[in-house]
Amino acid sequence: MEELSWGSIIARMLMQLGPVWIALIVLFTISITYKRKLGLYGKLFDSTIGMIGFALVMFWVFVGIFGGPLDMLVTHDPLSQVSGMKNKVPGTPMRSPDEGEYAYFLLGGDNLARDVFSRIIKGAWIVVQIAPIATLFAFMVGITLGLPAGYYGGRLDTVLSFLANLILAFPVILLFYLLVTPEIVLTGIPNYMALFLFVFPLVFMCILLNSRYHTQPKIRTPLLIGVLGGLGWLYLSLVSTDGSVVATPTYSIPGIPAFLDLFDIDPGILVVFVSVVFVNSPTVYRIVRGLAMDIKTRDYVAAAQTRGEGPWYIMLWEILPNARGPLIVDFCLRIGYTTILLGTLGFFGLGLASESPDWGSTINAGRRLLALYPHAAIAPAVALLTLVLGLNLLADGLREESLRD
């Protein structure tokens, strides 16, 4: 078999990504049809920049979903090394493919003879797993601490702001490096941090429901029991691995029994996840604190205080909804920032396993022979660039529409 031309390579990749195109068409069709009923999300489709950004972001989200758990897009095992495919150019045919096996390396092979195309597809799933959820957790930490700091002020504000500034005083990359190094991981520090940071979503939901239904105890009590029971189970499953919440070479702290553990997170992913939450939370705290200090002076907040509403009701149901515009924009930007951090960690071989198909590791594997075989590094770099670009454009579109709202 002969090498594929670039036209054939592009055509084959477009066909291989068929489920992604179908999902995008369905999503955009439904969204545009009902955009007048979808609030700020619907107004996004009135912005050209926002639509382009949203399309880029959802492209990689669908690539991650269809290529990760559904396993519909990859052409080869991203970890397997195929004889004779080391540093091969895009479109190189395999020497003797097995029956039913894809016959080409569409984007070539890296220095370990692994399929670059399949590694990019699987790398998208790693980003989709970590970046949005870790950013959401960071926002819950920042909102839970930033709202009372901005609303009450005083010593609480002073102490929390000092701690936030203390964390922000460290260079982010250095702080990341320290948190994910094997020596730190062996001490169990990331596990203790997970125990502390992951409890904030639980606290946030408890306060949210209690403040909303505090005048309706017949609804509030069973709702809190059900929600907190379910979230508590998820929390214990999240922080427990093989029946332990902390496991070091010298001791272990038991957690939820293994038969009740819903899932086990890969230790490398857990460390990166905790690091992302820890690094992003202080910045979110400062943004929320500033917004709360500004909005608490508005007339509708004074009206709620006059009605006798409690402080947490005012913070969560008067201040927070009116701060949603800047927070949604920052959420998008912070996912992009987290994506870059994940790529940086992978490039330096920190956090995730060394053979992981994340984009940073793939770029690092390809950069060693960049002058001779640029495809192995350029392809994952373009993937990283387009996702971050999409998030930035999406944030710009949301900013425009939130200002008009």
Tokens encoding 72: 């519909």
Strands 244-247 and 252-254: antiparallel
pLDDT single digits (tens) 50-106: 999 999 999 999 999 999 999 999 999 998 888 888 888 888 888 877 777 888 999
Tokens encoding 225: 């029991």
pLDDT single digits (tens) 13-65: 999 999 999 999 999 999 999 988 888 788 888 889 999 999 999 999 999 99
The secondary structure of residue 260, as a DSSP letter, is: G
Using CA atoms, how far apart are residues 112 and 55, in angstroms rounded to an integer? 33
Residue 390's pLDDT is 96
Residue 28's pLDDT is 95
Q: Is 84 left (phi over 0), alpha (psi -120 to 50) or beta?
A: left
Residue 135's pLDDT is 93
Return the residue matching tokens 């020596």.
183
Q: Which amino acid is at 2?
A: E
Strands 104-105 and 244-247: unpaired
Residue 19's pLDDT is 96
Residue 252's pLDDT is 80
Residue 350's pLDDT is 75
Low-confidence spans in the chain with pLDDT less than 50: none
Residue 152's pLDDT is 94
